[in-house]
Amino acid sequence: MSGGASRYRVQPGGSVGGELTVPGDKSISHRALMFGGLAQGVTRIHGFLAGEDCLSTARALADLGVRIEFPAPTEARIEGTGMAGLHAAPGVLDMGNAGTAIRLMMGLLAGAPFASTLIGDASLMRRPMERVAQPLRLMSARIETEDGRPPVRISPVPHLKAIQYALPVASAQVKSAILLAALNARGRTRVTEPAPSRDHTERMLAAFGVEVLKEGATIALEGGQALAAAEVEVPADFSSAAFFLVAGCLAAAQPLVLRNVGVNPTRTGLLEILQRMGADIRVRARPASGRAGGEPIADLEVRRSELRGITVPESLVPLAIDEFPVFFVAAACARGESVVRGAAELRVKESDRLAAMAAGLTTLGIENQLLPDGLWLRGAETFGGGTIDSRGDHRIAMAFAVAALRARAPLEILDVANVATSFPGFLELARGCGLRIEAA
Ligand code: S3P
């Protein structure tokens, strides 16, 4: 199993091909659990991601009084308590490694009639929370952080009030936290985005019967609306499929087909970036399942491609925000130089992803330069191997596993247990399609 492994050993070279279905979408699974908990009635989730991050959300909701069962590994059944039915947790809420979980829970709990304290693992305890706490305070919430970081302490207030808020950075987590708090606020809240970020919250709130109005870059929501239970279909996670899209570009001996992938346009920036680099990726839309969630789904077919370096347009950065680790691997194998700017957000993810990727690429012998808000690098035909520190970041670990396809020597990737936060079964799927990877 990928969970629990402390390091990967990956043999160099090889090829990939075949068909696979990656696990369910992490962002959508978190939201389906939370909205199901807040709804009246029984919500069922199909294709649920039983990764550590989403299980942290499930445990927190259970501590707050929501009954959640897992009749099968990818099925969840939630007995919603309605907004008013939550009660104080018996202790602190530990959100593990999950940034989405802690930030959305801040919004969900800001208007609750009881106190809550949110913490996480060592990585989460270093991540910025004021970006969420500040707008929530404008709504009258009482929230304290410690130097901007967890623990986050939320105290009850008589009621929240609606706000009009312009997000300083494109962040779906901040937007979603405000919208969740807005459900409990008096009046109409308006959130304006500087650039589009993933819109799963807006789509799924609508699927739960909430009226969400979109006026250009502004999302408006009237407080006091109740959520009605829904049947949610979770597509395969584009962010997990991304590792195999790049693997296919680098080393597909025969086409690699990824089934049922979520292709919400606010998530597929990497697809456009890879296609601009010359990738042969075909998108075959699948008909809607009829279940709620409002998410478009497609099969993706990738063939080995000669990639060219790219200057990534800044407008694509929020639409590919979680895919940069594996993008840098694609760029390392492309002809010519590549550069990403306007991506300072990557420094406050599960690790400083710009620094982690720069260090790992240097180990492999890829010429690169770390920028304050991005990374420049020059691609190479092949490169060396060596020991890579993933810094406990799931996406750094998986990105370097893919890089081994073009290496001349084995790669040892350290600190990989957190792959289980987003991609349980990664090792088995990767091996099944041709990567020569083992847990060590
Ligand atoms: C997420 C939003 C993004 C993304 C994260 C998941 C979400 O974070 O990086 O993995 O589910 O809303 P930001 O909102 O900080 O950009």
CATH topology of domain 26-233: UDP-n-acetylglucosamine1-carboxyvinyl-transferase; Chain (3.65.10)
d(CA 92, CA 222): 30
> Among candidates 154, 143, 51, 148, which has minimal Cα distance to 96?
51
Asked if pLDDT for residue 126 goes beyond 50, the answer is yes
Residue 382 in contact with residue 404, Cβ under 8 Å?
no
Which token pair is 430?
């990767």
Q: How far is the CA of 413 from the centre of ligand 1 (A)?
A: 25
Atom number of ligand 1 nearest to Cα 27: 11
pLDDT at 294: 82
Domains 2-22+236-439 and 26-233 belong to one CATH topology: yes
Give residue-wise pLDDT tens across range 250-291: 999 999 999 999 999 999 999 999 999 999 999 999 887 666
Q: Is 176 in the pocket of ligand 1 (CB under 6 A)?
A: yes
Half-sphere exposure of 143 (CA within 13 A, CB side): 32
State the pTM of this model.
Answer: 0.97
d(CA 75, CA 64): 21
> Among candidates 94, 91, 108, which has minimal Cα distance to 143?
108
Q: Going by CA atoms, what residue is nearest to atom 15 of ligand 1?
A: 171
The total of other beta-carbon atoms located within 10 Å of residue 103's CB is 27
Give residue-wise pLDDT tens across range 6-29: 999 999 999 999 999 999 999 999
Q: Going by CA atoms, what residue is nearest to atom 13 of ligand 1?
A: 171
Residue 61 in contact with residue 85, Cβ under 8 Å?
no
The structural domains of the chain, with segments of one domain joined by +, span 2-22+236-439, 26-233
* Mutational test site, ligand 1, from 33, 95, 100, 102, max ligand atoms within 8 Å of CB: 100
* Mutational test site, ligand 1, from 26, 129, 173, max ligand atoms within 8 Å of CB: 173
Decide the pairing of beta strands 386-389 and 374-378. unpaired
CATH topology of domain 2-22+236-439: UDP-n-acetylglucosamine1-carboxyvinyl-transferase; Chain (3.65.10)
Half-sphere exposure of 322 (CA within 13 A, CB side): 26
Decide the pairing of beta strands 231-233 and 40-46. parallel
DSSP designation for 114? S
Q: Is 100 in the pocket of ligand 1 (CB under 6 A)?
A: yes
pLDDT at 5: 62
Asked if pLDDT for residue 3 goes beyond 70, the answer is no
DSSP 407-438: BSS-EEEE--TTHHHH-TTHHHHHHHHT--EE
pLDDT at 191: 98
Sign of the Cα pseudo-torsion (263, 286, 420, 366, in order): negative
The total of other beta-carbon atoms located within 10 Å of residue 392's CB is 20
Give residue-wise pLDDT tens across range 284-334: 998 876 666 789 999 999 999 999 999 999 999 999 999 999 999 999 999
Q: Is 27 in the pocket of ligand 1 (CB under 6 A)?
A: yes
Residues with catalytic function? 322
* Helix 353-364 / helix 324-332 crossing angle, nearest 10 deg: 30
Q: 238: part of which helix (H) or strand (E)? A: helix 238-251
